[in-house]
Every structure is written in structure tokens, then in C-alpha cells.
Amino acid sequence: MKLEILAVGTELLLGDIVNGNAAWLGQRLAAAGLDVHGSAVVGDNLGRIADAVRAALRRADALIVTGGLGPTQDDLTREALAAVAGVATARSLEIEGALRERYSALGRQVPEANFRQADLPVGAAALPNGRGTAPGLLLDMPMGARAVGGDTAPPGAPVTGVVYALPGVPHEMYEMFTVTVLPDLLARAGEPGAIVSRTLHVAGMWESAVAEALGGLVERLDVTGSATVAFLAGGGRVKVRITTKAASRTDALEHLAPIEAEVRTTLGEAVYGVDGDTLPGVVSRLLLARGATVAAAESLTGGLLGSLLSETPGSSDTFRGAVVAYATTLKTALLGVPVELLAERGPVDSDVAVAMAHGVRTRLGATYGVALTGVAGPDIQDGATPGTVYVGIAGPTGAAARQLQLPGRREQVRLLAAVSGLDALRRRLLREAPG
């Protein structure tokens, strides 16, 4: 069974609201072994909604529509579905009565506009809404008449498939999908099998480098069609998602295991976790395993590294604290960086990063000190171009610094610097086995 998702709402097109419903539905459908072949957004326009529904039903066996079922004039999903089905809308006395009872129980009178929620395409089934007033709809196409053609279809051409129209309000949609829609979809699909994904998290490599390193694997999988590999970059990290479909979840996991192993071998220590792992959480676990703690010294990041280090529950066992020495003079006053070194080299320097790491480690009593100094931009500072960053780490076996040249605007450079500092600590911990 091929499925598509269509979200209705001009506010989604304008970016006023993020389309989280599509992401939620995609995850739940994939977990149930159902294939989502497309997802789209359309504004609150009767003709465009109808055209989008027709187009989706010519590609898919089932369509889930979210939004446009409310009581206001711009809620047009009911009318659009009726146009596609070639039928009129009619008032449901049962739904009208339920609305009156609901409002009466609240001591209120039903606004006249709300009765629009009781208007259904003729032949459609209402889906109960346990958390709101707008019922959902189920339509099996074709219905009583041929569809009226739009821009995407010749006049009189039929469309086939099942349409589920759900409210756009997330908590209402979640319940209606879980209780009513998913069981109906599974019954129609028969035995859909299991779609399973493993997501490996990568740090310290750009997306293009990850894709290039895995190019041979991706090409082989494209030929066999046995699994797919997708890349998603963001926040200085890259996700490598491997997906396959099999008769059962156990079979799918067995098929994914050697592919995951090859990805790990190819990318090496750049892979820091899988599925729900986070970089701060992994670092916290590594520190705990070693009975170690960390302190951060920050300049350009202004506390972002400390925020990451304190993100994980239980981080008080591993994170001592952070010193934000943004002003150059504070690098000496708070971290003990020699005045002579700052005068000779300036604050953006590898030896300064090492001195900051030593200073924060000593003054906060941590096993490891991590320091970040550099230029976030937009202007050149002390001869260093924006994006120049030094990561310093001091620990029981010595200290070292690494220079990075990070891309992007000021806010991106700062985030990438903080993530790079965290990843540098992770790699250092991996090389120093638990005591």
C-alpha cells in the first residue's frame, strides 16, 4: 500500500507553524510497516486543496489529510473532498446534536459557525474526535459520482483510494490516528511487514565527506534495493539513516546489522552513537565510566559548551562548571593565562587555548579541561579571520590544541565550535581507557 500525507494550512506555507504533524505521522506509519511515498503542504484554497488531493490519489492508495476541518471560513477540507468525490455536503444531525450537548455541558451556546463541522461530503463516514469538536472524515473513492476534474486531471476522470481527513490540532490528530485510522489502514494493507531504520550519529565530519566515504556502500544498496541510506546534517553533526523493509522487525534488524557494521568501520570514531544517543549523553557516559569530570573555559562560545555539558540528566556527576572569560583580561584573571603570552600572541592562539584548558581544570578541580577561543565574526580579530577556532584539552596525560576553520555566520560558528569542543573531548576519552 502506497500512502501520502497532505497538510492543509496557509500558516504552514508561511512558516508560522512548523509541520510537526507530518513528521509524527511519518514515524508512526513507518513503525507500522507502511510506506509513505510523499508528503505535501497546501494553503487554504478550495481549488488548490482539491487539486492536491486528486494528484495524491493518482499516485497513492491512501491519503491522510491534516487540517482544514475547523469552523472558520478558511477551513475548506470538507468542501474540497466533496468536490473531488463529485458529491455535495450535507448536515449530519448526529454530529450537530453532539455539538449542542458538548457546549451545553460547558454552560455555553454553540456558535453558529461551529455547525459547519457537522457538514460532511455525502457518503463519507465521520471519525470520532475524543479531544475536540471537529470530527474526522473517511472517504472511499470513487464515491457516488465521478470526480470533477481540475488542473491535474481531465474532466470526469475518476480517482481511487481512501482518504482520511484529520484535525490539524496535534493532540486531536494523534488520538484519532492511533485509535481509528491506523487500525483501518493495517486492515486494508493486510500484512505490511516491518520498516526499520537505524540512525548512526556522526561528528567531526562534514556531510559531503560522510557521503563520499559511504559512496560505495550506497551504490551497492541502490543496485540491490535491499536498503536505503540517507544523510541529514545539522548543528555540526550528521545523521546516517539506514532503512530496510522485511517480513518482521527481527528480520529487518538482522539485515541492517552488517550494513551498520560497515558504516561504523568506514567512519571509525566519527560515529558517536545510534538512534536516541546524543553527543552530550555519550560524553557524560564516557566520563562516568572513567570516574572523571570536566570543566569548560569559553571565550567566543559564551557558555554554549557548558550548556551542552549540562544538558544530560545526571551531568552533575561529571560536569564541574564553566568559566566564560570573554574579555581578554579575564583569561588571565580567571584562568591564569600568562599576560606575556596574550601580549605576544593575542587571545586567538593554540597555546592560549591550552593555557585556558589547564587553568579551568586546575581552578575547578576537574579531571579534564576543555577550552575554546576564536573569532565568531563578522570581523577579523587580531589578524584571525572569522571561523578561526582553537580547541584546547588538558587532562591527566597532557594537553594539546587543535585549530579549526569553521564555516557560516556568527551564530553557526559559535554552535559548531561548542560541538567541536565536545567532540574533541569524546575522542580524547575514547583513546584513554577507563582506569
| pLDDT tens track for 170-201 | 999 999 999 999 999 999 988 677 888 999 99
Euclidean distance between CA atoms 368 and 298, whole angstroms: 14
298 plus 420 within the same structural domain: yes
The predicted model gives 102-117 an average pLDDT of 85
Task: Check whether the bond before 111 is cis (ω within 30° of 0).
Answer: no
Which of 157, 189, 221 is the last residue in one of the domains?
Answer: 189
- Is residue 112's pLDDT more than 90? no
Higher pLDDT, 105 or 342: 342
* Greater model confidence, 155 or 84: 84
Please say whether the beta carbons of 378 and 409 come within 8 A: yes
Mean pLDDT within 202-215: 96
Q: What is the mean pLDDT of residues 294-316?
A: 97
- Are 239 and 206 in contact by the 8 Å Cβ rule? The answer is no
Alpha helices in 110-247 (DSSP H): 170-176, 182-189, 207-213, 215-224
State percent of the chain over pLDDT 90: 79
Instruction: Tell me: do 179 and 288 sit in the same domain.
Output: no
What mean pLDDT, rounded, does the chain reach? 92
- Same domain? For 18 and 107 the reply is yes
Sorting pLDDT into bands at 50, 70 and 90, what band is 434? Answer: confident
Question: What does the pLDDT look like over 382-432, one tens digit per residue?
Answer: 889 999 999 999 999 999 999 999 999 999 999 999 999 999 999 999 998
CA angle 400, 405, 409 (to 5 degrees): 130
Do residues 224 and 278 touch, judged by C-beta distance below 8 A?
no
Looking at the fold, whether 168 and 101 belong to one and the same domain comes out as yes
Cβ neighbours around 123 below 10 Å, total: 16
State the cell numbers at 25. Answer: 505521522
pLDDT category, 157, cuts 50, 70, 90? low
Average pLDDT over residues 76-97: 93
Q: What is the CATH number of the domain that holds 256?
A: 3.30.70.2860
Residue 66 clears pLDDT 70, i.e. is over it: yes
CA atoms within 13 A on the CB side of 282: 25
Using DSSP's 3-state secondary structure scheme, residue 289 falls into helix
Asked which of 30-39, 145-154, 300-309, 363-372 is least confident by mean pLDDT, the reply is 145-154
Domain at 349, CATH number: 3.90.950.20
Examine the domain organization and report whether 325 and 252 are in the same domain. Answer: no
Q: Do 174 and 246 fall within a single domain?
A: no
Same domain, 211 and 292: no
Q: Which of 274, 292, 311 is the last residue of a domain?
A: 274
113 pLDDT above the threshold of 90? no
2-19 exposure pattern, b = at least 16 Cβ within 10 A, e = fewer:
ebbbbbbbeebeeeeeeb
- Do residues 184 and 206 share a domain? no
- Confidence check: pLDDT of 233 > 50: yes
- Judgement on whether residues 175 and 316 belong to the same structural domain of the protein: no
Map residue 435 onto helix, strand or coil. Answer: coil
Which CATH number belongs to the domain containing residue 170 in this structure? 3.40.980.10
What is residue 153's predicted lDDT score, i.e. its pLDDT?
Answer: 42
> Amino acid identity of 177?
F
Please identify, among 239, 254, 274, the residue that sits at the C-terminal boundary of a domain. Answer: 274
Say whether pLDDT at 150 is over 50.
no
Per-residue pLDDT band for 435 (boundaries 50, 70, 90) equals low
Q: Which residue range forms the structural domain that includes residue 297?
A: 279-431
pLDDT higher than 70, residue 143: no
Please state, in angstroms and rounded to a whole number, the distance separating the CA atoms of residues 197 and 211. 18
**Do 157 and 267 fall within a single domain?**
no
pLDDT the model gives residue 77: 97
CA–CA dist 96, 103 (Å, integer): 11
Q: Is the pLDDT of residue 361 over 90?
A: yes
- Whether residues 185 and 243 share a domain: the answer is no
CA 188/CA 251 separation, integer angstroms: 23
Most confident of 110-114, 224-228, 347-351: 347-351
The answer to whether residue 131 scores a pLDDT higher than 70 is yes
112 shares its domain with 226: no
**Total number of domains constituting the chain:** 3
